[in-house]
Amino acid sequence: MKQMRFSTLADISKNGVYQNKKLSKKEMCGLLSLNTKRRSHKKKNFYGDDFFDIKKSGTIYNMHIYWTKQNPFVIAKLVHHYTKPNDFVLDAFCGSGMTGVAAKIVGRNVILIDLSPSAIHISRNYTTLTDPEPFKDIFTKIYEDVYKELIWMFRTKCHICGNENALVESTILSDVYACPYCSKGVIYGNEQRWSSLKTGAKIKTITCDHCTSKFNIKDAKFLRRTPIEIRVRCNKCKVSGKNKIKKLSKEDMELYKKIEDMRIPYPYPEDVRFFGWEPKRNIKKGIYYPYQMFSKRNLYVLAAFWDKINKIENKKIKEKLQFLFTGALFNVSLMVRWHHKYDVVVTGTRTRKGTLYIPPIINDANPFIPFKVKSNTIYRGLKKLLELYKRDSICFVEKGSAMHLGFIPDASIDYVYYDPPYGSNIDYSGINLMWEAWLNDIVDTKEEVVENVDQGKTIEDYKNMLIRSFKEVHRVLKDECFFSLVFSYSLPLMWRVVQEASFNADFKSDFNIITVSSKSKTAVQSVSLKAQQRFFIITFKKSNMHMRTLKKCPDFNEYITKNIKDFLLSHPESTYDKIYDYLVKKCWKDGVLIENFDLAKVLTTLQV
Ligand SMILES: C[S@@+](CC[C@H](N)C(=O)[O-])C[C@H]1O[C@@H](n2cnc3c(N)ncnc32)[C@H](O)[C@@H]1O
Ligand SMILES: [Zn+2]
Ligand SMILES: [Zn+2]
């Protein structure tokens, strides 16, 4: 190999990262070869208490959305425990790059890899710093330009004080279905249903306004959407609360319709088509392309912003502005659901994360508002990162596959932290097309570790890909070093897959499982099989000592029942989650292959 320009890690730190220089794969490989020669420090597995009340929020967390995003401070705790200064951390399923954020906070070198161009875009922006002031200035300039040009689209007359220059804060859009009996259009949020929806009623079956037949909205043909109300922002009378609610006037409706028929003069991703299973849910609503996930008016504004952002010459600031754009994108989409509790609260708008679900009643935001909010969050986030990041550590971010880490030499990594996809839980590649359409960089799904009928990948294929990537971990990790695996999906079947995959990849020595939860449950009945409120971190040691075996239990049900009984004797007040956690951990400890079981059922038979 060509002689490295940098001879020591300290050198590269000074020469490379202080100036935010991007390293090439070759340079990275050279550095890691040097790292193989560094002795790994003797470390113990983390036997501390489980983590509790670790919230998924905060300025840094809120800078950009991602699916099953981790809290970087949890990871930082582990990175701190398992590594020493100058060590290299690897996350090859990096998603939004929270392992990178953690490593930069602790001051360790880190390599981030993901298959998804969106994930790389987010990770890169999270781990490279930019001066927040010029970022803010340039954003403000763009914002004002677009505002001047397009704010007319959101003008409305204040229904309280008569101000002609009030603004639409959001527009409530309702689905319109074809009645299966008379085929006439029926507005889901018609006057009568709208008032019950506002009291929190859930309405799935509706009565046709024309022929009075009843039908379920699931079975009805979707025709279109129509605006039913607006929320007004008036800087004259400062209208607030329920007073913001305005029925559309004739002028409001005309303006809305006029924009629907306009041609957008800015480029937007017209040709990128959705693929994958998650986008399929919207085919019945006529959606085949990511750009169709926005109302026409919002798409127009988005295209204008995107055009201006891409014309910025300063590359670092341009990237951060793109980060702002992708960070706000879902908040201005048709996915933002109206909810009676947050009826008139601007920041109360929500989307169903990890899906592309479009609700029947949408709170279609005036995009200028979420953009402004996001710019403030990112501005504050950048300031915070500037304070927290240790500058003399390397962060290498690169698109790639966890199954093929060719550029990483054997035994060169000091700690690995992985949070891979779990089965068919989330369609990352399908959902991320929302961003990739704009970024003009579409994921290649060939190596995507996922169970996906669309890609012809079965659960068995998924397991084999997981094994392949765990074997890569085993290869690149130094002896006696640790591999932490996040497990955020607690169905027994998936536990079993992870058990088999890790044993297959020779991680069968020392390990520990901790539970990270954000809420403590009290009722035994609380059945949360999908573990929304908690997840597990399994940490393996790469070692040839004390190798365990994994075996099938002759009578798994009997084994489970006996263990529940024992556990309840010593922990009579245990919650459902506690029992579940105990059981899976016990199976791992005993080297028992986890088989399918229904804890709720077993508990009923035991009459607890
Ligand atoms: C659970 S997410 C990671 C989320 C991350 N922990 C965070 O905090 O944002 C799993 C990631 O694995 C990625 N992925 C799937 N197959 C991959 C592969 N073969 N190589 C690398 N990344 C892959 C997906 O694109 C997705 O971003
Ligand atoms: Zn009808
Ligand atoms: Zn007013």
pLDDT of residue 600: 84
| Cα angle for residues 243, 245, 249 (degrees, 5° grid) | 120
Ligand 1 pocket test: which of 115, 464, 516 has the largest number of ligand atoms within 8 Å of its C-beta? 115
How many CB atoms lie under 10 A from the CB of residue 151? 15
Q: What is the pLDDT of residues 243-296, one digit of tens each?
A: 999 999 999 999 999 999 999 999 999 999 999 999 999 999 999 999 999 999
Contacts with 343 (C-beta within 8 Å, 6 or more apart), sequence order:
198, 242, 245
- The span from the CA of 150 to the CA of 144, in Å, is 10
Strand partners, 221: 178
Q: What is the pLDDT of residues 371-424, one digit of tens each?
A: 999 999 999 999 999 999 988 899 999 999 999 999 999 999 999 999 999 988
Atom 25 of ligand 1, nearest CA residue? 116
Cβ atoms of 188 and 176 closer than 8 Å: yes
Is the CATH number 3.40.50.150 carried by domain 9-129+389-544? yes
Q: How far is the CA of 178 from the centre of ligand 2 (A)?
A: 8
Regarding the beta carbon of 68 and ligand 1, being less than 6 Å apart is answered: yes
Q: State the distance between the two ends of the chain, measured CA to CA, in whole angstroms.
A: 66
Residues by chain with Cβ below 5 Å of ion ligand 3: 158, 160-161, 163, 234, 236-237
Amino acid at 190: N
Give, to the nearest 10 degrees, the angle between helix 368-388 and helix 98-106.
30
Q: What is the pLDDT of residues 497-542, one digit of tens each?
A: 999 999 999 998 778 888 887 654 433 333 443 434 678 899 999 9
Regarding the beta carbon of 421 and ligand 1, being less than 6 Å apart is answered: yes
Q: Once rounded to an integer, what is the mean pLDDT over residues 148-170?
A: 97
Regarding the beta carbon of 115 and ligand 1, being less than 6 Å apart is answered: yes
Helix (H) or strand (E) holding 411: none
Ligand 1 atom with least separation from CA of 98? 8
pLDDT of residue 454: 87
Residue carrying structure tokens 């991703």: 269
pLDDT of residue 4: 40
Closest C-alpha to 457, from 483, 427, 433: 427
Q: How far is the CA of 294 from the centre of ligand 2 (A)?
A: 29
Q: Is 548 helix (H, G, I), strand (E, B) or coil?
A: coil
Q: Is the ipTM of this complex over 0.95?
A: yes
- The span from the CA of 357 to the CA of 278, in Å, is 9
Contacts with 130 (C-beta within 8 Å, 6 or more apart), sequence order:
316, 317, 319, 320, 382
How many CB atoms lie under 10 A from the CB of residue 13? 18
Q: Which of 77-91, 100-114, 345-359, 410-424 has the lowest mean pLDDT?
A: 345-359
pLDDT at 343 over 50: yes
- Give me 321's structure tokens: 């502005």
Contacts with 545 (C-beta within 8 Å, 6 or more apart), sequence order:
509, 510
**By percentage, how much of the chain surpasses pLDDT 70?**
91
Contacts with 137 (C-beta within 8 Å, 6 or more apart), sequence order:
none
pLDDT of residue 348: 57
pLDDT of residue 231: 95
Most confident of 11-25, 404-418, 547-561: 404-418
pLDDT at 604 over 90: no
Regarding the beta carbon of 402 and ligand 1, being less than 6 Å apart is answered: yes
Q: Is 493 helix (H, G, I), strand (E, B) or coil?
A: helix
Mean of pLDDT over the chain = 90
pLDDT of residue 379: 98
- The span from the CA of 439 to the CA of 492, in Å, is 38
pLDDT of residue 326: 98
Ligand 1 pocket test: which of 74, 427, 449 has the largest number of ligand atoms within 8 Å of its C-beta? 449
Return the CA Rg of the chain.
Answer: 26
pLDDT of residue 392: 82
Q: Which of 160-174, 225-239, 561-575 has the lowest mean pLDDT?
A: 561-575
Q: What is the pLDDT of residues 186-230, one digit of tens each?
A: 999 999 999 999 999 999 999 999 999 999 999 899 999 999 999
- Give me 534's structure tokens: 């908690």
Is residue 337 exposed (0-12), middle (13-18) or buried (19+ Cβ within 10 Å)?
Answer: middle
Regarding the beta carbon of 343 and ligand 1, being less than 6 Å apart is answered: no
Q: How far is the CA of 427 from the centre of ligand 1 (A)?
A: 11
Q: What is the pLDDT of residues 39-85, one digit of tens each?
A: 777 777 776 666 665 677 789 999 999 998 888 998 999 999 999 99
pLDDT of residue 17: 43
- The span from the CA of 438 to the CA of 64, in Å, is 16
The three state secondary structure string of 64-95 is CCCCCCCCHHHHHHHHHHHCCCCCEEEECCCC
Q: Once rounded to an integer, what is the mean pLDDT over residues 558-582?
A: 88
Q: How far is the CA of 368 from the centre of ligand 2 (A)?
A: 39
Q: What letter would DSSP give residue 596?
A: -
Cβ atoms of 122 and 96 closer than 8 Å: yes
Is residue 122 exposed (0-12), middle (13-18) or buried (19+ Cβ within 10 Å)?
Answer: buried
Regarding the beta carbon of 119 and ligand 1, being less than 6 Å apart is answered: yes
Regarding the beta carbon of 423 and ligand 1, being less than 6 Å apart is answered: no
Which ligand is the nearest neighbour of the Cα of 399? 1
Pairing of strands 245-246, 361-365: unpaired
Top pLDDT among 143 and 535 is at 143
Closest C-alpha to 269, from 251, 284, 288, 252: 288
Is residue 384 exposed (0-12), middle (13-18) or buried (19+ Cβ within 10 Å)?
Answer: middle
Cβ atoms of 243 and 250 closer than 8 Å: no
Which ligand is the nearest neighbour of the Cα of 181? 2
Regarding the beta carbon of 447 and ligand 1, being less than 6 Å apart is answered: yes
The phi and psi torsions of 583 (rounded to 5 degrees) equal -60, -50
Helix (H) or strand (E) holding 422: none
Q: How far is the CA of 177 from the centre of ligand 2 (A)?
A: 10
What are the distances in angstroms from CA 557 to CA 242, 492, 550, 573, 601?
A: 56, 13, 17, 22, 11
Give, to the nearest 10 degrees, the angle between helix 296-310 and helix 315-329.
170
